[in-house]
Structure 1
Amino acid sequence: MSWKFTATETRVPAQGMVSASSGEETLSIMLTDWRAMGIWEKDFAFPGTDGCHLAVDSDAVAELGNKVGVMACFHTADGTMQHMDYLEPVLRADGQLSFARDFKREPGITGVTLKLYAKWAEGVVRFRNIRVEAAAAPAERIARVVTTMVQPTWNNETTPERMKRVESLLQKIAKEVEKPDLVLFSEAIPDLCMGLPLSKGAEPVPGPNTELFAGWARKLNCYIVFGIHEIEQGNYYNTAVILDRQGNIAGKYHKVHLTWNESESGVIPGDSFPVFQLDFGCVGIATCWDNWFGESARHLRLNGAELMLVPIAGCGIPEHRDHVWAARAGENGMAAAFAVSIPSEDKIAASRIYDPIGRILAETTQDNSYAWADINLTKRLRTRYLSVSCYGEGRSLYVRERRNGVYQRMNQA
């Protein structure tokens, strides 16, 4: 089968052109009307037993964003489409985009149709060096994540007493959870609800409680993430700290969305949503009030996070806890873990772990307790009729079908 070109019906349809140089075929799409869309497509036999590598180079620049790309459509022998997935854009050193992705062969799949497209812009985009190759299926990356709950005693506890309870819980995790990869604690765990001014509750990072957690990270051979009031160069932050398996600081996040009480007390907000590459995958952090703003989770996903960590003091209303938490995971195709200290209005505190479509994997509602789950970060959780007419994966679709230009204009309004 040769390449086939189609154009959507617009006032000035897209045009497709084929050229060859030094034996290499180039497929071009010319758009003279921004409303147009052009698609080159060709069907291939699935090239491997276990998996395949699909890749296409182009001369598109990054500014075109989702207006240029490659869709892979996987089908059975009778032509029934089973799932459709975008290839991921990769910015090359020359400033132009390639598109590539490795896939596991799903049961019954015999072929894949590649659709190279350009839409909603003006100009010419060229595609070349198209590869459909056998490859090993992507290796599984499974993270064993532990979330915790240590409830405050409301101005009736000192930091050493609180941290003694934290250590007791870590001792319990060490005995009962085999080879955890990450343990998550709640927001401002050393001094939460103690009524201390920042001048007494905040500490530097690294500092005494960072060192305490670092010792446990080494004992458990796992990452530990915890919230703390930090003083840095005379400024106060609501900080989440990531310690690696050797107890070293792997990253810090400064809470972006501050409550009124925090602002009034002198806490300084962060200004970005960084992500951190750990040995099992990419994680990002949204602290407490951050989670009430959908932009927080979306920015983490856009920055590459596969797992969102949410250290929380408390979630005031149960409706938010029981509906929005799952939505934050599901609307981004991103697993999420929440660690809570203070009960909601229904007197229930729940620390939870969600899979990328928003299903609860594990939960604890007891003080001084934990829950854990294994999260497969490579498993593709596809659902039916998500944009495509068969099965699609939200994690990819929610990024590749965004309208970034529209959002930017809205932000400028």
Structure 2
Amino acid sequence: MNSSLKSPSVSFVFGILLTLLLQITSISAGEPVPEGWQQIAMRKPVKPEFSYLPQGSFDGKGALAISAAPDQTESHGAWVKSFPIKGGQGYRFHVWRKTEGLAVPRRNAVVKITWLDEKGNLIPSRVQGADDRVRPVFPADGNTNKAGWTEVTDVYPVPTEATQAKVELHLRWAGQGRVLWSLPELNPEAAPAQRIIRLASAHLRPRNGKSAMENCQQFAPLIAEAGKKQADLICLPECLTMCGTGLDYADVAEPVPGPSTEYFGKLAKEFNLYIVAGLLEQSGDLVYNTAALIGPDGKLVGKYRKVCLPREEIEHGISPGKEYPVFDTRFGKLGMMICWDVHFPEVARNLANNGAEVIAMPIWGGNPTLAKARAIENQVFLVTSTYTDPDRDWMKTTIIDKEGKMLSIGKDWGTLVMAEVNLSQPKLWRFLGNFRERIYRERPVEGFVEPTETR
């Protein structure tokens, strides 16, 4: 028989099969995961699927992927890695995130960072006392680029005793879809500068004014005083162009921008501060109860139309607003609400959801306990200017901090209320940590559900 027609040797066939087996094994094993990254599941029945995509990121750095398991109602797991750090200095965490098919990315795709000592234990809290511990932090979502990648980044001061940071990249509560994490970084960076600002409020009820402009002019001395004391913002009261004039809402209504915002604009520019003024706005056939924000350049920055109207304004034909705008200022993000709004949690929560760090609230009168609640539950500073007599157990002209404390209270008419606050200092709650960070990640998917039956 011709040797060229003989059957292949056993060793040759075994070699081919072994090569194919190794190739299959290599494919099924996937690409090697970058050093240090491990997989965890919250419970075995909800373990998601993990993979590493070497070309999975828009910048070519690769991506750690987590996908909802097809045979599960819900999946929850995370990529985890411990980074060595030097305690007592600042660190910036940074990662790019892309989600596909996730219902609520802010809840479904979350970064969690825990500062630990050399033994892997939580650090004793210097703020709350040794019986508490430094709690995890949750970096916020930033901008999303055209390719759908969202930047998740923040700078943190690290506890002195910390030697490692445990970084967890989560997919949680997902019935479908996946998240890609383009390899994160944790690098030393100077802690952000303290943002210390001065908030002011006018404790003044206009008297004997015969027109909208005469009422506006009565606030000029307090605005000047706020400017001389280097206030960043002064809040004026609600419907200030009508109060004490004997005129009706519609009688003093004007366009915004209009004569009153022009007048306050000159003062804002002269004294280099922001002014929030409660006005009546005429827009076509409609009248709104409006808070106008005027900037230190003298121009209208924006306005908020009161969403929640009491019966008195409804009876006078005032129309409700529908939006919750938040404005960038030189000191931070500012929202506004007006009087009756304070009795409903939705208004302040929507402003906080939109990024407000400070809320200015012109108010005729209202429940001070609810005002404190709005500040506490949203972790914002609330600046109020009221017409209520300070001796009454009712609303105050004040600045309320994140703990619900009134930092300064107007006691005499025609006086200025001021307080210095630090926007960069989070309130660390006992056993809870930074609650403002957690609000974003843990609040409900939607707000109040409309009842199915009329009561």
Which consecutive residues of structure 2, in runs of 5 or more, have no partner in the other structure? 1-34, 123-133
Matched, 1:139 2:173: no
Letter in 1 for 2:99: A
Q: What is the rounded CA distance, in whole Å, between the counterparts of 2:417 and 2:87 in structure 1?
A: 39
Give yes or no for contact 1:47–1:133 (8 Å, CA) kept in 2.
no
Given residue 71 of structure 1, which amino acid in structure 2 is its aligned partner? Answer: K
Larger radius of gyration: 2
Identical columns (%)? 28
- Give distance in 2, aligned partners of 1:349 and 1:304: 25
Q: 1:193: how far off?
A: 4.5
1:71 pairs with one of 108, 112, 121 = 112
Is 2:91–2:155's contact at 8 Å kept on the other side of the alignment?
A: yes
1:59-138 equivalence runs, <5 A: 59-61=98-100, 63-65=103-105, 66-81=107-122, 82-90=134-142, 91-121=144-174, 122-138=176-192
CA–CA distance in 2 between the matches of 1:24 and 1:348?
A: 58
Change (3 A) 1:69 1:347: closer
Tell me, yes or no, if structure 1 residue 29 matches structure 2 residue 66. yes
Q: In the alignment, what sits opposite 2:78? A: 39
Equivalent residue number for residue 57 of structure 1: 96
Q: Matched residues in 2 for 1:124 and 1:173: separation?
A: 52
Give me the whole-angstrom Cα distance separating, in 2, the residues matched to 1:343 and 1:359: 19
Distance 1:206 1:97 in 2: 36
Q: CA deviation at 1:49?
A: 6.5
Deviation by residue 1:107-133 (Cα, 9 ceiling, x = unmatched): 433321111111111233232221112
| Secondary structure of residue in 1 paired with 2:168 | strand
CA deviation map 1:25-45 (0-9, x unaligned): 532223222333102211112
Decide which moves more: 363-372 or 96-105. 96-105
CA-CA distance at 1:78 after TM superposition: 4.1
- Residue 370 (structure 2) aligned to one of 310, 313, 324: 324
Match runs of 1:203-242 below 5 Å: 203-242=254-293
Give the 3 Å change call, closer, same or farther, for CA 229–24 of structure 1 in structure 2: closer
Cα distance, 1:78–1:367 mapped onto 2, change above 3 Å: farther
- Per the TM alignment, residue 288 of structure 1 is displaced from its structure 2 partner at its CA by 0.6
Q: Pairwise mapping of residues 167-246 of structure 1 onto structure 2 (< 5 A)?
A: 167-175=220-228, 177=229, 179-246=230-297
SS of 1:297's partner is helix
Q: CA deviation at 1:274?
A: 0.4
Deviation of 1:412 after TM superposition, in Å, equals: 7.9
- The TM-score, its normalising length taken from structure 1, stands at 0.88
Who is 1:165 aligned against? 218
From 377, 395, 398, the counterpart of 2:436: 395
| Aligned residues of 2:326 and 2:333 also touching (Cα < 8 A) | yes
CA displacement 1:137-189 (0-9 Å, x = unmatched): 11222221101111255xx54345533431233344345x2x11111101111
Give secondary structure in 2 for the equivalent of 1:133. Answer: strand
Letter in 2 for 1:86: F
Cα shift at 1:55: 1.5
1:267 Cα deviation after fit: 1.4
Aligned amino acid, residue 162 of structure 1: N
Q: Kindly tell me: are residues 86 and 12 of structure 1, through their superposed partners in 2, closer, same or farther at Cα, counting changes over 3 Å? A: closer
Moved more, 221-230 or 374-383: 374-383
CA distance in 1, matches of 2:64, 2:244: 63
Equivalent residue of 2:136, what SS?
strand
**Normalization by structure 2: what TM-score?**
0.80
d(CA) in 2 for partners of 1:412, 1:17:
43
Once the two structures are superposed, residues 300-346 of structure 1 have per-residue CA deviations (whole angstroms, 9 ceiling, x without a partner) of 0111111111110111xxxx31x221111111111111111123893
CA drift of 1:53 comes to 1.4
**Most deviating of 341-350 and 280-289:** 341-350
Offset, 1:348: 5.5
> Could you tell me which amino acid in structure 1 is paired with residue 365 of structure 2?
G
Q: Aligned Cα RMSD in Å? A: 2.5
SS in 2 for 1:229: strand
Give the conservation status (yes or no) of the 8 Å contact 1:286–1:310: yes
- SS of alignment partner, residue 437 of structure 2: helix
Distance 2:45 2:268 in 1: 62
Give distance in 1, aligned partners of 2:262 and 2:182: 53
Q: Is the 8 A contact 2:87 2:162 kept in 1?
A: no
CA distance in 1, matches of 2:266, 2:402: 31
* 1:187-238 Cα distance to aligned partner (Å, 9 max, x none): 1112124331234222223333223212211221111111011212232111
* Count of residue pairs the alignment pairs up: 397
Aligned to 2:37: 3
Contact 1:229 1:236 in 2 (8 A): yes
8 Å Cα contact 1:152/1:341 also seen in 2: no
Contact 2:337 2:348 (8 Å CA) reproduced = yes
CA separation of 1:234 and 1:37: change in aligned 2, threshold 3 A: same
After superposing on structure 2, the runs of 4+ consecutive aligned residues of structure 1 that deviate more than 6 Å are none
Of residues 386, 409, 416, the one that matches 1:363 is: 409
Of 388, 396, 403, the residue aligned with 1:342 is 388
Instruction: Label 1:163 to 1:125 Cα distance change in 2 as closer, same or farther (>3 A).
Output: closer
Distance 1:9 1:174, change over 3 A: closer
* Matching of residues 381-392 of structure 1 within 5 Å: 381-386=427-432, 392=433
CA contact (8 A) 2:204 2:387 kept: yes
Pair 1:140–1:344, CA change in 2 (3 A) = closer
